[in-house]
Amino acid sequence: MNKIHEECGVFGVYAKEKTSVASTAYYGLFALQHRGQESCGIVVNDKGVFTYHKDGGLVNDVFTPAVMEHLGEGNMAVGHVRYGTTGGGGRINAQPIVVNHVKGAMALAHNGNLVNSFELRRELELEGSIFHTTSDTEVISYIITKERLKAPSIEEAVNQAMYRIKGAYSLVVMSATKMIAARDPHGFHPLCYGVTKEGTYVIASETCALDAVSAAFVRDVEPGEIVVFDGDEIRTISDHMGEAEKHLCIFEHIYFSRPDSRIDGVSVHRARVTAGACLAMEHPVQADVVIGVPDSGIDAAIGYARQSGIPYGMGFIKNKYIGRTFIAPGQKAREDKVKIKLNVISETIRGKRVVMVDDSIVRGTTSARIVKLLREAGAKEVHVRSSAPPFLFPCYYGTDVDSQENLIAVNHTMDEIRDIIGADSIGYLNLDHLGMLMGTPKGCGYCAACFDGNYPTEVPTETCKNRFEGKLSERSNNHEKSK
Amino acid sequence: MNKIHEECGVFGVYAKEKTSVASTAYYGLFALQHRGQESCGIVVNDKGVFTYHKDGGLVNDVFTPAVMEHLGEGNMAVGHVRYGTTGGGGRINAQPIVVNHVKGAMALAHNGNLVNSFELRRELELEGSIFHTTSDTEVISYIITKERLKAPSIEEAVNQAMYRIKGAYSLVVMSATKMIAARDPHGFHPLCYGVTKEGTYVIASETCALDAVSAAFVRDVEPGEIVVFDGDEIRTISDHMGEAEKHLCIFEHIYFSRPDSRIDGVSVHRARVTAGACLAMEHPVQADVVIGVPDSGIDAAIGYARQSGIPYGMGFIKNKYIGRTFIAPGQKAREDKVKIKLNVISETIRGKRVVMVDDSIVRGTTSARIVKLLREAGAKEVHVRSSAPPFLFPCYYGTDVDSQENLIAVNHTMDEIRDIIGADSIGYLNLDHLGMLMGTPKGCGYCAACFDGNYPTEVPTETCKNRFEGKLSERSNNHEKSK
Amino acid sequence: MNKIHEECGVFGVYAKEKTSVASTAYYGLFALQHRGQESCGIVVNDKGVFTYHKDGGLVNDVFTPAVMEHLGEGNMAVGHVRYGTTGGGGRINAQPIVVNHVKGAMALAHNGNLVNSFELRRELELEGSIFHTTSDTEVISYIITKERLKAPSIEEAVNQAMYRIKGAYSLVVMSATKMIAARDPHGFHPLCYGVTKEGTYVIASETCALDAVSAAFVRDVEPGEIVVFDGDEIRTISDHMGEAEKHLCIFEHIYFSRPDSRIDGVSVHRARVTAGACLAMEHPVQADVVIGVPDSGIDAAIGYARQSGIPYGMGFIKNKYIGRTFIAPGQKAREDKVKIKLNVISETIRGKRVVMVDDSIVRGTTSARIVKLLREAGAKEVHVRSSAPPFLFPCYYGTDVDSQENLIAVNHTMDEIRDIIGADSIGYLNLDHLGMLMGTPKGCGYCAACFDGNYPTEVPTETCKNRFEGKLSERSNNHEKSK
Amino acid sequence: MNKIHEECGVFGVYAKEKTSVASTAYYGLFALQHRGQESCGIVVNDKGVFTYHKDGGLVNDVFTPAVMEHLGEGNMAVGHVRYGTTGGGGRINAQPIVVNHVKGAMALAHNGNLVNSFELRRELELEGSIFHTTSDTEVISYIITKERLKAPSIEEAVNQAMYRIKGAYSLVVMSATKMIAARDPHGFHPLCYGVTKEGTYVIASETCALDAVSAAFVRDVEPGEIVVFDGDEIRTISDHMGEAEKHLCIFEHIYFSRPDSRIDGVSVHRARVTAGACLAMEHPVQADVVIGVPDSGIDAAIGYARQSGIPYGMGFIKNKYIGRTFIAPGQKAREDKVKIKLNVISETIRGKRVVMVDDSIVRGTTSARIVKLLREAGAKEVHVRSSAPPFLFPCYYGTDVDSQENLIAVNHTMDEIRDIIGADSIGYLNLDHLGMLMGTPKGCGYCAACFDGNYPTEVPTETCKNRFEGKLSERSNNHEKSK
């Protein structure tokens, strides 16, 4: 674990007529690939007939021409990319989940994590429910289905289900005839929709996926909102809006999302440039060049450079052919692995005092290796700056900051971290400035629990957490894990 | 549909210690491959941790070394091969099914077909159950799980479930600590178990799978019997034994099973030789040579030859490299396809009056093509004999004789069939002699409903049948279907 | 090495117009698959543009729809299947070989083995030739190319080359505009051609490949004959006809060829039945049933049964799903492997005195295992009969009987062999009766050097033999070897 | 053709002892992947036994763990990555080429293009040589082999061959016991070597590959130099040094090479930054932001920004998961494809006057699409700057600028190009400033023939060029082409 991982990206297509919705979903998921590289899936709905494919691997590898042909055309589609923290296998928990129930079929794609899934699951099991997977998403499927038995419509079932499920969820739900987008009342994770020139509606975790399919951004789905696409109509169910304050995960802006996305009205790129500028004000240093660690340290490095007046430089080349990584027999150390992905442009570094900006520091090992590379390339000084504050607390809302023991900042002082990393100085973004990234006052509108421990919801007790760990494991067909 | 298909083969391994149970299951399934070529799966149980892999394709192709390594070792395993009549996709309905419920995990492999699955499914859905597949097996999983909530043990849950599920089922159920084999009260499909020198118990659809893993046959599981493998103990639950008369599917002996298997004490090879001998008595003819259509017409041809005194000859060579068949661009007609698989040994045929014995005649098109090949090879006369009576009724117990419209005998007289096939004479095995195959009086101990319409159970109403047809379809990773 | 292997099968298609010649080649090679399972290849000629694909693996696996699409249409094609004795890798020596030379391109497919290839190769290398493979076929390509520089036509180049190459060769040569079939003066291996209804000419190692593409047999290519397909004309160059006596490899009839083929006018099936009848006369025994070891022992078993009057029975079931064999982790002994492929039908065997007919005995280990299986199944006596005489000498003409050390008959008496195999009696076909298989007097028209040591040509000195062993090895894409 | 392509990258490993040289080659080739994405290959030499694998596809995809295991260990290895301009197929012309000749085996990897290959090939063919491929590399193999017959050593054979082959070549030659690096007298393409801590010598097209395997740069191979690695000795053969003036391809610095490489002592990154600075001086403009087109426009954009004082900004996000690209069914236009790979960060662009720096403009279509994206994102003005001069002449030295008809600058004035691209202004790097990139006077030490038509050698006549076009095409196993 050298990077914190997001668990998911969701995508939905709602067309007026039968068309190549699978292709649209493919491009959308391809643009959301950074949100999850472990497995992916697309479900196509052709007048109530659901055809789907899910597997471990990258969008590019899983959706071969033969698979795309199998998926065929339809008027709706739901897609998902996933990085799974629970369980080992790629395929078993791959989404979207497709279920059959008494009133028809439903497909569900989910980004986030429930905080009461253990309780809900136990309750369901005591009623005789069986679970095929270990994911929250199956729990949500059950809750919606149970509500559907009593509710007059699928959207009302989703609405009722939202009274029972707690935590973080951005959902796309597809029934035989409707498409529904729903976001939890805190709005932990992003969700938006757009429309193409042909009038096809597209729901996505991030706006970059709208761009990828040439759809114009319409608006973000609001925290607590349910948006129903039904015939020619787009309706909102607002029962859960305002139930809670908004708590968008601040790490979406710092690292998870793509710089070309706008989330809840804020450009991710600008948020990062702002973070870099804040860093320059908080932790100034005399230096000759500012470099960013690719890919997500680049934006903040530009911000640092602009604010400080120190020239921005290209410090690294990242090998762009990294795919399914192969661990060759003779590979000695993990240091080699960093070198294979990242090489220093010594021209930029030699004899210089370097400010190296990265998006965050998790365990510190990767930072240490990069600092070492810079010194070997002739850097006179290396000043490390992190555009995220120190990670100190576990996250329960859909990212994998789940154990404190791997977090360098939990057990070490700043001086110790600096020494472990081998830097001449170190500086983290100040917690108090996080609001500036989103243009809000300190503590307003975002969740920074992993940094400050202020959880906007109740959190699960520790005992529940690992109940299903390792209990199930299905073999993916993509034998080598994708990176 | 040129051949009637069985829907499944099941296999279970119960070892005293952690060992290569996946390997044992692999060899067992490989020996049962003739019972289903569409998908296969193995679940390994290592002290309660279930690891599995299921996919569309042949055992040989699905279980690669990498997959076998993933499955690892354990003390129990359940395996399944499947030919699926419902739904199109290979993977979606692949078995065994693995479920998590409140009292642990369970894996289930099933051969057969319920007659009340539609009613059970509707009932379950009205309680809020969700279904991921369209198969009966998921229904059975639910029923067992529901019972498990009230029952003190998994075996008692299976026992209670058997009061609710109706129809044909040979089941292998694996819990964290126990292995259970259960056969429906009619005993529609075979199920037996054996033991290896190392004391590992092995459950299989047919004895040929015991041979393949060097296990000694112990005995058949009796109709209605539940056999529980638990610690060092093997117990029988007999509550459902004697509930119904025995009705073993007679087509198991005629076609489905392998000739080297013994089912309920009767050698399949011998049953077929007997069928051939009966045919010789019922439909004698002056001829020079008796040939069998490979593979399953050979045994009956030997029986016909022995009884009639006409020499047995090798009439055909079957290409043994048939695998995932590729339909090449230039291929004109399906006739070519028969020729690719089967070539006539003209030496045996030229200038001769030939008796051609096949196991059964479904649509008649394949028979017509083979007769044509024989005539082209110089046969003076061709007398077709079928070691099964004419198919006239749909089957509801796990084979795909589900539509009368494709059955040549439903709409044609014997003379018409003879002319359609292009034979000089035609003869089907007489219904009255079916008992001779199993050494029982006429009509006793077997089900011949597809021939005589005498269904031993209530049968589902037509309206239910196609509810889920085509509703779901998941892409298998094996793009070309295996034959 | 439990079986002797043929090295190759060749196939050619010569159509009047652009058509799906690749598809024809595919079906032809599929029918010749028994002649070589290690690698295969097809070269399509579309008006001088050669497109090809070669790889390790079975025809079925190598020629996927995507590959077939790549090959496209043309007016000619050459194909090859190969079992390679030299070198380990599948792809490096795969044929056909395609070369470019000053007068155009040429594709070459070869079945056989030269006895002077080492000398030719050395001579060529001393002139500066470079070799990409270790096969004789590349040597032949060079010789033809060198002659082509001086000759007015490709056929004359082949004719001249035949003065220089010595040994066994059945060749199909394709130039930009012509197709040529050539057979060595001894006619060691078969070669024939036929014609389809559309007027497409088809050249093949065996007639079964003509049948597979619905081509009518025209005639065998004679020993020493060169047949040229050129425009609408079919010409013979007869310069090498009569140069030597005919020496067709007798093992083609005994084992290599398919029973449905006719070679040089003799039915392979009939030759085998005759061998079985001879065995019955030479080595009679009191017994209850005659069984054949699948696949190639069956014909001779029928012959033995007919001649002896002892009933023929089905002794074994061969698993028909054997493909790319997987060696599972837990597999203990090779005995298991025999059991997986072959199971005894105990009904046929129990309590009986059994005559077991096999095509040949190489090392004796497989025979020993099969005898053991029969005894375990309850055979009272097992009498082993081999329809080939004992292997005593290496073969230099294209099969892999290349080392005497693995041949059981070289170092053991009949009694010892009987005991090693565990049989009650043993009997090999008498050398003196080999002519009966082909309807010729003893010693006339066939090569039986592997049995009697009478080599029709000079043979290579031992020192040359292993020069290239293991020097080169290219990775095939089909990781698991096909069986 | 939207980009000019390099044809190759070469790599060699010379270790003192048997070790994981294949793994070293793998990492080296992975770092050189930008020089060729169509096919790749590695040959391992274990005491004279050559094992190899070559195939179409990326290093990452072709060299699976199973392939690496097959390659095994050795004391030497040669590797190659290729972008092939001649012929369509990936595998047929894949390198290294391995040949057997009378004095042993040889492997050859080549980057460049001969100008007299047609003449040499004809000469060889008239002597009876046969060619399996259409590449220059096979011609070089022949010439070296012919010389080897007369020469006392492989290095002397290479030396003699260099009197006969004309044009661009950076070669790595491996014999049973020696490794040789040779560069043509003009030094068209780079070649260098380094050494690891363990004393293993590594030869590579670029220094970035030395970095990737943690080897310290020793020096560039000089134009005309032959470096021989033989036992513990490293010798130079200098007979061809000084034969010609140095003419390093200037496009290596502009586009082909990786920015972190140093070629003949000059940092590629610095050369590009210099190009950007020159552009700023030659084509100044009033603007708000300077952006670079990823990946190779970034360095020059930084140079432009620094020189002009206009802030540098991130204009685009490139999807980093581009791999084997799939062309989905519903994809309408190629414009979509640009969008999938590249998305504009509108935050950087909106309302701004933008300077967009790209490395070069070939056909102009990609530039036009990118300008359109910028305008859609709200750019007020777009000023396009190319860090290469206009392409006007074909290249004969190993890149694919082989046809003038696709070059926008050949048929259009600057104003027309500006209008076609849709820019507000356009500016190309001035020819006179090319020397500044390499720190040499104008026209000294580099080849800029594609820009100025000054060819340092004789060039082939047009008639020869397409002799082998499309004559041969072998199917790669990687069905979808890699990008």
Domain ranges of chain A: 8-247, 267-318+334-443
Asked if the Cβ–Cβ distance from D475 to C48 is below 8 Å, we say: no
Q: Which of B58, B269, B348 sits opposite C321 (nearest CB)?
A: B58
Q: How far is CA A97 from CA A107, A115, C238, in A?
A: 6, 20, 72
In Å, how far is A315's CA from the nearest CA of chain D? 9
Q: Look at residue B336 in the predicted model and tell me its pLDDT.
A: 62
C270 touches chain B (CB under 8 A): yes
CA atoms of B448 and B432, how far apart (whole Å)? 11
CB-hemisphere CA count at 13 Å for D195?
9
CB B187 within 8 A of CB B224: yes
Of C126, C118, C170, C176, the C-alpha closest to C148 is C176
Q: Look at residue D336 in the predicted model and tell me its pLDDT.
A: 63
Chains that touch D (3 or more CB pairs under 8 A): A, C
Least confident of B281-285, B346-350, C87-91, D235-239: C87-91
pLDDT higher than 80, residue B472:
no
B 359-388 residues with CB below 8 A of C? none
What are C117-124's contacts with CB under 8 Å, separation 24+?
C117/C165, C117/C167, C117/C460, C118/C460, C118/C464, C118/C467, C119/C464, C120/C164, C120/C165, C122/D102
pLDDT higher than 80, residue C47:
yes
Q: Look at residue C402 in the predicted model and tell me its pLDDT.
A: 62
pLDDT higher than 70, residue B239:
yes
Higher pLDDT, C304 or A481: C304
> Please, what is the average pLDDT of chain D?
89
B contact test, residue of C210, C211, C262 with most B CBs within 10 A: C211
Tell the residue number behind the tokens 């013979």, with chain if given.
C236
Q: Which residues of A are catalytic?
A: 8
**Amino acid sitting at position B378:** G
Of D209, D326, D291, D300, the C-alpha closest to D258 is D209
Question: 3-class SS at A457?
Answer: coil
Is C46 annotated as ligand-binding? no
- Proportion of chain C above pLDDT 90, given as a percent: 73
Is B464 annotated as ligand-binding? no
What residues have CB less than 8 Å from A287, skipping those under 6 apart? A308, A310, A352, A353, A354, A355, A381, A383
Q: Look at residue A402 in the predicted model and tell me its pLDDT.
A: 62
pLDDT higher than 80, residue D329:
no
Asked if the Cβ–Cβ distance from D141 to C125 is below 8 Å, we say: no
Is A415 annotated as ligand-binding? no
Q: What is the pLDDT of residues B332-369, one digit of tens each?
A: 544 466 777 899 999 999 999 999 999 999 999 999 99
CA atoms of C346 and C317, how far apart (whole Å)? 10
Is B447 annotated as ligand-binding? yes
Asked if the Cβ–Cβ distance from C126 to D142 is below 8 Å, we say: no
CATH number 3.40.50.2020 is the correct assignment for the domain at A267-318+334-443: yes
Sequence ranges of the binding site of D for [4Fe-4S] cluster:
249, 395, 447, 450
Q: Which of D49, D125, D145 sits opposite C130 (nearest CB)?
A: D145
Q: Look at residue B478 in the predicted model and tell me its pLDDT.
A: 32
Q: What is the ipTM of this complex?
A: 0.89
Is C40 annotated as ligand-binding? no
The model's confidence at residue B12, banded by pLDDT at 50, 70 and 90, is very high
CB-hemisphere CA count at 13 Å for D116?
15
pLDDT higher than 70, residue A457:
yes
A contact test, residue of D291, D327, D347, D373 with most A CBs within 10 A: D347
B contact test, residue of A62, A129, A136 with most B CBs within 10 A: A129
Q: Which of B52, B99, B134 sits opposite A130 (nearest CB)?
A: B99
CA atoms of D318 and D338, how far apart (whole Å)? 10
Q: Which fold has domain D270-319+331-437?
A: Rossmann fold (3.40.50)
Chains that touch B (3 or more CB pairs under 8 A): A, C
Q: What is the pLDDT of residues D24-59, one digit of tens each?
A: 999 999 999 999 988 899 999 999 999 999 988 889
Q: Look at residue B399 in the predicted model and tell me its pLDDT.
A: 84
Least confident of A158-167, B90-99, B421-430, C79-88: C79-88
* Residue B94 parent element (H or E): none
Q: Look at residue C84 in the predicted model and tell me its pLDDT.
A: 60
Specify the length of chain A in residues: 483
Q: What is the pLDDT of residues D415-462, one digit of tens each?
A: 999 999 999 999 999 999 999 999 998 889 999 999 999 999 999 875
CB A362 within 8 A of CB A1: yes
> Please, what is the average pLDDT of chain C?
89
pLDDT higher than 50, residue A319:
yes
pLDDT higher than 50, residue B74:
yes
Helix axes D334-341, D365-376, angle to 10 degrees: 70
D contact test, residue of A260, A373, A482, A483 with most D CBs within 10 A: A260
D 94-113 residues with CB below 8 A of C? 97-102, 105
In Å, how far is B128's CA from the nearest CA of chain A? 5
CA atoms of D433 and D452, how far apart (whole Å)? 13
Q: Is it true that B8-247 and B267-318+333-437 share their CATH fold?
A: no
Structure tokens at B8: 């499944």
Tell the residue number behind the tokens 């996946």, with chain if given.
B22
Quick check: is B8 catalytic?
Answer: yes
Report the Cα C389 to chain-centroid distance in Å. 18
In Å, how far is D303's CA from the nearest CA of chain A? 10
* Residues in chain D within 8 Å Cβ distance of A20: 328-330
C480 touches chain D (CB under 8 A): no
Q: Look at residue C91 in the predicted model and tell me its pLDDT.
A: 67
Find the mean pLDDT for residues D298-326: 88
Q: Which of B33, B313, B344 sits opposite C260 (nearest CB)?
A: B344
In Å, how far is D122's CA from the nearest CA of chain C? 7
Q: Look at residue B470 in the predicted model and tell me its pLDDT.
A: 36
Question: 3-class SS at B244?
Answer: coil
Of B272, B169, B280, the C-alpha closest to B226 is B169
C 198-237 residues with CB below 8 A of B? 208, 211-212, 214
Asked if the Cβ–Cβ distance from D317 to A259 is below 8 Å, we say: yes
* Residue D262 parent element (H or E): strand D262-263
pLDDT higher than 60, residue D244:
yes
What residues have CB less than 8 Å from A424, skipping those under 6 apart? A381, A382, A383, A418
Asked if the Cβ–Cβ distance from D129 to C468 is below 8 Å, we say: no
Least confident of A443-452, C336-345, D136-145: C336-345
CA atoms of C141 and C163, how far apart (whole Å)? 14
Q: Which of C66, C471, C477 sits opposite D50 (nearest CB)?
A: C471
Q: Which of C208, C324, C340 sits opposite B343 (nearest CB)?
A: C208
The DSSP secondary structure of D331-348, one letter per residue, reads ---HHHHHHHHEEE-HHH
The DSSP secondary structure of B38-74, one letter per residue, reads SEEEEEEEETTEEEEEEEES-HHHHS-HHHHHHH--E
The DSSP secondary structure of C188-245, one letter per residue, reads -S--EEEE-TT--EEEESSHHHHHHTTPEEEEEPPTT-EEEEETTEEEEE-TTTTSS-
Q: Domain C8-247 class?
A: alpha beta
The model's confidence at residue C467, banded by pLDDT at 50, 70 and 90, is very low
Size of interface A-B (CB pairs under 8 A): 123
Asked if the Cβ–Cβ distance from B30 to C340 is below 8 Å, we say: yes
The model's confidence at residue A331, banded by pLDDT at 50, 70 and 90, is very low
Specify the length of chain B in residues: 483
Asked if the Cβ–Cβ distance from C475 to D50 is below 8 Å, we say: no
Q: Look at residue B90 in the predicted model and tell me its pLDDT.
A: 57
A16 touches chain B (CB under 8 A): no
Q: How crowded is residue C258: how many other Cβ atoms within 10 Å of its Cβ?
A: 26
Size of interface B-C (CB pairs under 8 A): 177
Higher pLDDT, B218 or A63: B218
Q: Look at residue B33 in the predicted model and tell me its pLDDT.
A: 93
Q: Look at residue B464 in the predicted model and tell me its pLDDT.
A: 44
Positive or negative, the CA dihedral A155, A161, A162, A165 is negative
Question: 3-class SS at B5?
Answer: coil
Is A395 annotated as ligand-binding? yes
- Proportion of chain D above pLDDT 90, given as a percent: 73
The model's confidence at residue A483, banded by pLDDT at 50, 70 and 90, is very low
B contact test, residue of C307, C326, C483 with most B CBs within 10 A: C326
Cis before residue A295, ω within 30 degrees of 0?
A: yes
In Å, how far is D133's CA from the nearest CA of chain C? 8
Q: What is the pLDDT of residues C178-201, one digit of tens each?
A: 999 999 999 999 999 999 999 999
Chains that touch C (3 or more CB pairs under 8 A): B, D
C176 touches chain B (CB under 8 A): no
Q: Look at residue A471 in the predicted model and tell me its pLDDT.
A: 40
* Residues in chain B within 8 Å Cβ distance of A128: 101, 127, 129, 142, 145-146, 149
Q: Which fold has domain C269-319+326-439?
A: Rossmann fold (3.40.50)
Instruction: Detail the DSSP E strand segments found in A28-92.
Output: 39-46, 49-56, 74-82
Sequence ranges of the binding site of D:
249, 296, 358-359, 395, 447, 450
> Please, what is the average pLDDT of chain A?
89
Q: How far is CA C40 from CA A40, B328, B483, C229, D164, in A?
A: 36, 16, 22, 24, 38
CA atoms of B207 and B188, how far apart (whole Å)? 16
Q: Look at residue A203 in the predicted model and tell me its pLDDT.
A: 98
pLDDT higher than 70, residue A359:
yes
Question: 3-class SS at C289?
Answer: strand
CB-hemisphere CA count at 13 Å for B23?
18
Structure tokens at A70: 């199998």
Pairing of strands A472-474, B49-56: parallel
Positive or negative, the CA dihedral C26, C32, C35, C37 is positive
CA atoms of A147 and A143, how far apart (whole Å)? 6
Q: Which fold has domain B267-318+333-437?
A: Rossmann fold (3.40.50)
A122 touches chain B (CB under 8 A): yes
Q: In what order do the strands lie in the sheet with D472-474?
A: C216-220, C192-195, C201-204, C8-19, C74-82, C39-46, C49-56, D472-474
Instruction: Detail the DSSP E strand segments found in C294-449.
Output: 316-318, 342-344, 353-358, 381-386, 425-428, 446-447
CA atoms of C141 and C159, how far apart (whole Å)? 13
CA atoms of D433 and D441, how far apart (whole Å)? 9
* Residues in chain C within 8 Å Cβ distance of B302: 312-314
Q: Look at residue B134 in the predicted model and tell me its pLDDT.
A: 77
Question: 3-class SS at D43?
Answer: strand
Q: Look at residue C132 in the predicted model and tell me its pLDDT.
A: 85
* Residue D401 parent element (H or E): none
C298 touches chain B (CB under 8 A): yes
Q: Look at residue D472 in the predicted model and tell me its pLDDT.
A: 46
What residues have CB less than 8 Å from A215, skipping those under 6 apart? A194, A195, A196, A200, A202
Size of interface A-D (CB pairs under 8 A): 178
C263-287 b/e (C-beta count within 10 Å ≥ 16 → b): bbebbbbbbbbbbbbbbbeebebeb
The model's confidence at residue D69, banded by pLDDT at 50, 70 and 90, is confident
C441 touches chain D (CB under 8 A): no
* Residues in chain C within 8 Å Cβ distance of B295: 320
